[in-house]
Amino acid sequence: MKNRLLILLGLTVLAAQAHASSPDAWATHDKAVLASCIKASGLKSAEPVGSAAQFDDRVGYTALLLQGQYPQKHMKGAIGTELCLYRQKTKTAYVTEWDSIRPAATDR
């Protein structure tokens, strides 16, 4: 019985290690997310705001907030915010405007 418990414990540790990602793998993933999100963004000079939010593998998405300038002439270079969802399975980025995340500017 004790041997079975040790074997089960050892297999559990090996399984956990098999699913863990190396720092290099995370760095590669982060670069792919950033590149895909910036490419999908409609903002000029888009840059990340903070770090990406890594969702559980069951969800399969990484979220990244981007900020940049609206390219439309009538927007006169106004700053815009977009939320990017990167689908890990397909390596595809989807963006949507999310200016409401920022507090409204007040005139003084």
- Cβ contacts of residue 80 below 8 Å, gap of 6+? 43, 67, 68, 69, 70, 97, 99
What integer pLDDT is reported at residue 88 of this predicted model?
A: 95
What integer pLDDT is reported at residue 71 of this predicted model?
A: 93
Give the pTM: 0.74
Bridging pattern class, strands 44-48 and 53-54 = unpaired
Tens place of pLDDT per residue across the chain (108 aa): 544 433 433 434 333 444 568 999 999 999 999 999 999 999 999 999 999 999 999 999 999 999 999 999 999 999 999 999 999 999 999 999 999 987 655 554
